[in-house]
Amino acid sequence: MKSATAVIIVIMILSAASGRACGCTNLLVTPGASEDGSVIITYTCDGEFHPHLQYTPAADHQPDEYIELKDWYGNVRGKVKQVAHTYAVTQLMNEHQVVIGETTFTGREELRNPDGLLHYWWLMRLALQRAATAREAVDVMTSLVAEYGYSSTGESISIGDENEAWLLEIIGTGPGGEGAVWVARRVPDGYICAHANKARIGEFPLDDPENCLYSDNVIDFAVEKGYYDPDSGEPFSFCDAYCPATPQKRRYTATRVWSIFRRAAPSRDFTVDYHRGVEGAEPYPLWIKPDRKLSLKDVMDLMRDHYEGTEYDMTEGVDAGPFGTPNRWRPMTWNIDGTDYTWERPISTQQTGFSFISQSRSWLPDPVGGVIWYGLDDTYFSCYIPLYCGIDDIPPSFTVGSIWEFSWDSAWWIFNLVANFSNLRYCQMRPDIQAVQSELEDELIALQPAVDMTAGRLYQQDRELMTAYLTDFCRAHGERTVSRWRELAGNMIRKYNDGYTQKEPGRPSETGYPERWLREVIKSRPEQFRLEVWGELETDLPY
C-alpha cells in the first residue's frame, strides 16, 4: 500500500495548487515544429501556493488494492481501483516520456458535478501512472470519468509523448450527472497549439478516429441543455457550446494565445481584434505553423512574455511605475465612478507557482529522451533546470518549504525573493537577473548533448549506473542553480540598497527616476515639487 499512499500525498499537493491555480498557460509543439524533433509541452501552474517537486517510483500492486481519495479534512471521498503496475512519475512526466499539463477554462459552471469523484489533477496523475502513450492517456482519463464521475469545471489538458501532442477538453454533466462530455484532437505534425483558460476546440471531425476522439454525448448533451440548436444551420462547436466567449474572457485568455502566435509566426500578422472583444472578430486558429522551427530556448523565451514591444507592453505607462515593472497586483478588475477596468493578464506572472517545458524525444531511450525543464515562480525570472524522466530522486531544496514561513532552504522562496525584490527598480535589476539566468540555462542546454550521449551509452551497458548518473546530474545542477540564486539575491540587496546603485562596494551612486515618469509626477502636481531658486541650484545636498 506504500505506492497508494504516495499517490494520495501527491494528489493533496496538486489539489493545493489547483485550488488556487485557475490562470495557466500551455503551448504544444509537435516534432515537425521543433528544431530537434522533440514534442514540447509547456505548463505554467499559476496560483498563490508553494509547490513541492515530487517523484513517485514505479510499483506493482495487489489485485484487491484501491486508492483512497480524501478531501482536505481527511475524509475519504471515494476509492479508485488500482492497476497491476504503475509507472514512475517525475513531476508531470512519466518514465515513458508521457507528459501532461492543463489550463482551467471553467465554462458553464452549472455543469460542475460535486458528486463526481475525480478532479482534473487526479486524472492527470492517474493517467501518468497508467499510460505509455499520449493517446493512451486520453483513453485512461476519459474511461476513469466514465466510471467514477468528474467533479471539476472545464479543463483543457495538454498531453504529449515522443511522437504526438494531443489536446483534450472536458467538462462535467452537472449535479447528479454521469461521466463527462469531452473532445480530444491530435495536433498536426509541423504545427503548434496554445491555450490559456478558454476552451479552444471548435468544429471537429466526427469520422477521423486517428486524429479526433470524443464522447458519445458531446453533441446530444449540448442539444438537450439548449447550448446548441441543430436546426440553426451552424456546425457544432465544442468551445461555443460549453465555453461561450465574453469580452472579459477574451481579454483574459486570448491575449496570451495571440502573443505566443504573433511571436512564433510574425508573418501571419495576427490581428488584435478578437482578444480586444471586437464583435464579429474571428477566433485565433486552434493551431498554426510557426515561421521557423522552434528550439528549446525559443520556447523558453515564448513563455517569458509581458507583451513587450506591443501596444499592450506592461513595462510601459504610468501603471508600470517609475521603473517599468510589468507586475500588477490583484484584483485584476476594479471599478471607478461606475466604469469597470481590468489589467492585462500576461503569460509571465508573479502568481506562477511552478512551470515546466518538457522534451519527449523519439530517437533516445525513454529514460534519456524525456526531460522536464522545471522552474519556480514567475517564468520571466525563473531558471529552468533539467529533470530526466530516468532519475529516481530529485533536488532536495525543491521538496521543502511552506508558503506560511520564509526559508533559505526552499528553492521556491529563493526565486520569490529575487523576483519580488526586482519590483523596487525593475528596469535596472532585470539585466542582472537575466545575466545569471542566461548563464545557467545556456550552460545546461549546451551540456545536454553530452549528458544524452553518456546516459545513452550507460543505458546499453548498465541501467542502474545510468539512473545514478542522471540523478546525480539533475540533483547537483538543481542545487547549484538555487545556490547561485541565493548569491544573486544577496548581491542585488547589496547593489541596490537604499535606492542607490553600488557598482563598487561602499561607493553608492544616485540613479534617481526616469524622466518620463518625472514628467508624469509634474503633470499630476505641477506646483508641489517646483523649486524657486535664487542663485545657484544646490545638487549635492547632505543625506
Question: What pLDDT, in 10s, does the model give residues 56-84?
Answer: 999 999 999 999 998 878 899 999 999 99
pLDDT in tens, 440-455: 999 999 999 999 999 9
Distance between CA atoms of residues 502 and 185, nearest Å: 55
At residue 39 the predicted structure's pLDDT band, cuts being 50, 70 and 90, is very high
Q: Per residue in 525-539, pLDDT tens?
A: 999 999 876 556 555
Q: Exposed, middle or buried: residue 469 (CB in 10 Å: 0-12, 13-18, 19+)?
A: buried
Contacts of residue 198, defined as CB under 8 A and 6 or more positions apart, other chains included, come to: 105, 156, 239, 243, 245, 249, 250, 253, 254, 257
Residue 128: other Cβ atoms inside 10 A:
27
Residue 44: strand pairing partners? 25, 355
303 and 44 Cβ atoms separated by less than 8 Å? yes
Question: pTM (2 decimals)?
Answer: 0.95
Query: What DSSP line would sit under 173-202, residue for residue?
Result: --TT--S-EEEEEEPPTT-EEEESSS----
In three-state secondary structure terms, 302 is helix
**Comparing C-alpha atoms, which of 397, 371, 376, 386 is closest to residue 477?**
386
Residues 6+ apart with CB under 8 A from 304: 347, 348, 379, 380
Q: Is 270 helix (H, G, I), strand (E, B) or coil?
A: coil
pLDDT at 450: 98
Mean pLDDT, rounded, of the chain: 94
Q: Helix or strand or coil: residue 359?
A: strand
